Amino acid sequence: MTEAEIAAGYLHAVAGSTDRLLASVARLAPEDVAGPSGLPGWTRGHVLAHLARNADSLVNLLDTARTGVEIPQYASAEAREQGIEDGAGRPLDVQLADVRESHERFAAAAALLPEEAWTVQLRHRKGYLFPAWQLPLKRWQEVEYHHVDLAAGHTPAEWPETFAAGEFATLAEHFRTVDGLPATLLFAEDAGLREQLGSTEGEPVAVEGPVRALTAWLSGRSDGDGLRVHQHGQEFADPRAALPKLPPMG
């Protein structure tokens, strides 16, 4: 499968996830936009403004891949934060239109890329380089995670299985060598996936459950709901208290 074909698959996933996000936003009452989200210090308006400005930031990177002229993802870290703050307090109908229209700009910019442009190396706002074909994946992550963070009824149980399984592997890789984590074996029963985190010494803590529940815990969207925890052949009565403490994703 070529990079362009991989990108096309992720773009299709982004379109479906965005449709579901827009449907959730459309069901909110006007006053709900000022209510708290699942992210500390952010209202739902902050989440929606971030989603819209993130789409526009990825248009900058898509244009870089197409033209060869480097355009920063954001003008600056301060400009990124200001864009979110400036947009957070807008009325719900304006927020809804902004999320929809920014997605349309993202999809239109992606459609302009020739096949070879999907291999171009781009610079993320945090400084690292990545290939252009990962841009649609990054947008998919933004939409699915922040749809949950919106606190509008969409939960990790509604994540597409392919999303949850992919993120399970990605997050496990992120935490695999984190200092101070005890040996932890993760088993996603429904997907048949296993991952090992933390130290390789000692009897591991075994954490079992559906892949969506594991991904929700690893990503900080759950305190461990739906998981079971074992060690030395014994199941803990309170799995949440027995789960290893994960550091923030950062």
Instruction: Tell me, yes or no, whether 138 and 189 share the same domain.
Output: no
* More confidently predicted of 151 and 234: 151
Residue 236 lies in a domain: yes
Residue 226 lies in a domain: yes
Instruction: Tell me, yes or no, whether 136 and 199 share the same domain.
Output: no
CA–CA dist 224, 229 (Å, integer): 10
Q: Is 80 exceeded by the pLDDT of residue 213?
A: yes
Q: Is 80 exceeded by the pLDDT of residue 248?
A: no
Instruction: Tell me, yes or no, whether 22 and 92 share the same domain.
Output: yes
CA–CA dist 242, 230 (Å, integer): 9
Residue 250 lies in a domain: no
Q: Which domain holds residue 166?
A: 161-242
- pTM, to two decimals: 0.95
Could you tell me if 229 and 243 are in contact, meaning their C-beta atoms sit under 8 angstroms apart? Answer: yes
CATH of the domain at 84: 1.20.120.450
Number of structural domains (the chain) is 2
Q: Specify the pLDDT at position 86.
A: 97
pLDDT band with cut points at 50, 70 and 90 for residue 250 = low
| Strands 205-209 vs 193-197: parallel, antiparallel or unpaired | unpaired
Residue 248 lies in a domain: no
Find the mean pLDDT for residues 210-214.
98
Residue 14 lies in a domain: yes
Q: What are phi and psi of 162, to 5 degrees?
A: -65, -35
Q: What is the pLDDT of residues 192-208, one digit of tens each?
A: 999 999 877 778 899 99
Q: What is the pLDDT of residues 68-78, one digit of tens each?
A: 999 999 999 99
CA–CA dist 123, 130 (Å, integer): 7
Instruction: Tell me, yes or no, whether 114 and 76 share the same domain.
Output: yes
Please, which residues bridge with residue 184 across strands? Answer: 197, 205
Domain end marker among 128, 154, 180: 154
Instruction: Tell me, yes or no, whether 128 and 214 share the same domain.
Output: no
Q: Could you tell me how far CA 140 lies from the centroid of its own chain?
A: 7
Find the mean pLDDT for residues 102-107.
98
CATH of the domain at 231: 3.30.1050.20
Instruction: Tell me, yes or no, whether 127 and 72 share the same domain.
Output: yes
In 3-state terms, what secondary structure has residue 224? coil
The secondary element (H helix, E strand) that includes residue 25 is helix 3-26
